[in-house]
A and B are shown apart, each in its own frame.
Chain A
Amino acid sequence: MTNLIILPILIPLFTGVVLIFLNKRITGQRVVAIFSSIGTMIAAGVIVQKVRTDGIQSLNVSSWDAPFGITLVSDMFSALLVLITSIIAFACLIYSFKSIGQEREKYYYYAVFNFLLVGVNGAFTTGDIFNLFVFFEVMLMSSYVLLVLGGTKIQLRESIKYLLVNVISSALFVVAVAYLYSVVGTLNMAHISSRINEISVNGMPGILTVIAVLFLIVFGLKGAIFPLYFWMPGSYYAPPAPVLTLFGALLTKVGVYSITRTYTLFFYHDMDAFGILTILAILSIVFGVIGAIAYWDIKNIIIYNIIIAVGVILYGVSVLNTASLTGAVYYLIHDMLIKAALFLLVGIVITITGTSNLRNISGLITRYPGLGWTFFIAALALAGIPPLSGFVGKLLIVQGGFEGESFIGGFITLMSSLLVLFSVMKIFINGFWGKDRTYGGEEKAPVKQLLIAPAILVAISALYGIGSEFILPYISQAADTLLNPKLYIDAVLKE
C-alpha cells in the first residue's frame, strides 16, 4: 500500500476531528481515543518492519514528483521515533483516564492530545523543510492548549512565557527557511542537501554556516539546549502529569530530531557549525547536571534531567562517527521511554502526597512497594546501569567521543551519569525510604490503576536494554542513513 507512511499522521488527525463531535460524551471519547492509539501503534510497527526489509520509504503527496511536491520520508530513524511516540502516547492516554479529571476531558482534552500527535508524527516523517515548520506549529499550538487547559494561575503565567518564546523561535524558523531558500532555491530536504553539496565543493560558503547556526538557535529553543533552555523549567512545571509527560518525552525530542536531521543531512561539511554544536551540547550537560543536583523538588529534578539528555544526544550527533551516531539514536529512544515513565511516576507521587517538595515526602515504600521499585528501576535505567536501557547508548556515545578524540566531551558524558544517578537516587532515598507519613490525597489516589502506564514503559525500556542485541540492527540502520546522506537523497529523488 502506497500510503502506509502517512497513517501515523492521518489516524490521529481523523480521531481528533471525530472527538470534537463527541466532546460531552467522555466514555465515547475514551473508546475512540484508545482504539485509534492502538491503530497508530500497529501502523508504526508495520512501517518499521517495512523500512527494515525494503529500505527507506518515501511518499510523494498528491502525486507530484519529488523536488516539486511535498514528500514524506520514513527512514529507520524517523520510523523508530514514530513508533516510540505512539507507545508513549498510548501510555499517557491510559494514565489520563484515571488522572486528568472530567472538567478537562469535556473541554476537548483528547482532541487536542491527538492533534499534538499529528504534529509530532508529522515532524518526524516529513521530507520538506517548510512542511516541518507547519508540523512544528501544529504541535506547538496543541501544546499551548494542553498547557493552559484547566486555567489555574500558574498555568496561565507559564503559558504566556512558553507562547512568547515559541512565537519568537517560530518567526526565526521562517527567517532561517527564507535564507536557506534564497541560497539553494528549494524546500525539499533531499534536494537542499544535494544542492548544498554542489555549492560547497570549494569549501562551505559563509552564508551556509550562518544558516546552520540559525537553525541551531531555532531548534535549540524548541529542544532546550544550553543558553536557550531558560523557558523550560518554569513552563514544564505548570501542567498536570500526563501533559507534562507528553511535553518532556516528545516535544524537546522533536527539536533534537530536527537538529540531528538538518546537521547530518544539510551541513555535514560544515565543521565550524559542528564545533559550536559540540560546545553547546557539553555545556547543556554541565548546566543540566547543576540544575538536577541543586533542586529539592521532584518535578524540577526530572525536568533538568531532560536538558542533560538533550546534551548527551547532541554530543553524540556532533561527534559524527558510526559509534557516536548509533549511540545517539539508541540513547534518544531510551530517553523518550524513560523520561515518560519517570514523569508518570512523579505524577503518582504528587497525587499521593499533594506536594512535589522532597523535604515533605518520606517513607512511601512501606505502603507503595510497587511504585517504589518501579521508580528504582527507572532511576537505574536513566543513569545507565548495565542490563538496563541507558547503558548501551551512553557507552556507544562515549566510545564514539574517544574515537573522535573528543576526550573532554566523552569524560563529561561519563561523569554526568554519576550525578544523574545521584539526583534520582536523592528522590528515591529521601522520598521512599525513611519515616512513614500520612498524606492528604492518599484515599483518592487510584495508585494501582495509575501505575499500569509507567510499569508498561519501564518494562519496555528494560526489554530494550536486555534485548539490545536484537534491536541494534535497527538502530545501526538508522545511524547508517544519518551518516550517508546519499542514501536519503537517492531514496527521495530516485535518480
Chain B
Amino acid sequence: MRKTNNIILETAVKVLLFFIALYSVYIFTAGHYYPGGGFIGGLMTAGAIVLLLITYDIKTVTKILPVNYRILTAIGLLFAIGTSAGSLIYDLPFLTHAFGDVHLPLLGELSIHTATLFDLGVYFVVVGVTMTIIQTIGEDE
C-alpha cells in the first residue's frame, strides 16, 4: 500500500537498476585480474534488489523476481562444493581446480577456470543470504 506518488524515484530506479546490475556482473567476472569477485559482486546485486525493495513493496519485488533465496543459498553452496569436490573423481587433492579452453555454442572459444564456478557459488550464497536477512526482517510484523 503506497500513499504518496513516488514517480521520480520509480523512474530513476528503472534506469539505475540496470547500471548497478551490469556493474555487479562486471565486478564479479573481473575478479581474477582486478579487484572484485564473488563476494562484492553478490553484495552489489543484492544492493540492486534492495533498491527495488525500497521503491516498491515486497509483494511486487517477489513478483518481478520469483526467487526463493534460501534455495539460492543452497544452490550456491552446491556449486562451491561441486567444483571443489570434482577433483575427487580424478583422485587429486580436494579443491584442486582445472582450466582449459572450452568451446561454447554462442560465445565461441573461451578460456575457463573452475575457480570461476566456485566464485559463482560464492556469488549465489551472498545474494541468497543478504536477501534472506532483509526479507525476513522486512516481512516480520
- A-side residues, CB < 8 A to B, are 1-3, 6, 10, 13-14, 17, 20-21, 23, 59-63
Contact = CB atoms under 8 A, between A and B. Distances in A.
B75 to A, nearest CB: 9
B97 A62 contact: yes
A23 B77 CA distance: 16
Interface string B70-96: 110110011001000101100111111
A21 B93 contact: no
A59 B92 CA distance: 10
Nearest to B115: A62
Contacts, number: 42
A6 B91 CA distance: 13
26 contacts: A2-B91, A2-B92, A2-B93, A3-B87, A3-B88, A3-B93, A3-B94, A6-B94, A10-B81, A10-B85, A13-B81, A14-B81, A14-B85, A17-B77, A17-B78, A17-B81, A20-B70, A20-B71, A23-B70, A59-B93, A59-B94, A60-B93, A61-B93, A61-B95, A62-B97, A63-B96
B74 A17 contact: yes
A75 B85 CA distance: 23
A59 B88 CA distance: 12
Given A10-B85, A13-B81, A17-B78, A63 B73 contact: no
Interface string B89-107: 0011111110000000000
Given A10-B85, A13-B81, A61 B94 contact: yes
A187 to B, nearest CB: 17
Interface in B58-78: 70-71, 73-74, 77-78
**9 nearest A-B pairs in the assembled complex, by CB-CB distance:** A62-B95, A20-B74, A17-B77, A63-B96, A6-B94, A61-B95, A63-B93, A62-B96, A3-B88
A319 B94 CA distance: 38
A467 to B, nearest CB: 34
Given A3-B91, A61-B94, 11 more contacts: A3-B88, A3-B93, A10-B85, A10-B94, A14-B81, A14-B85, A20-B73, A20-B77, A62-B95, A63-B92, A63-B96
Nearest to A71: B93
Nearest to B93: A63
Contacts of A62: 93-97
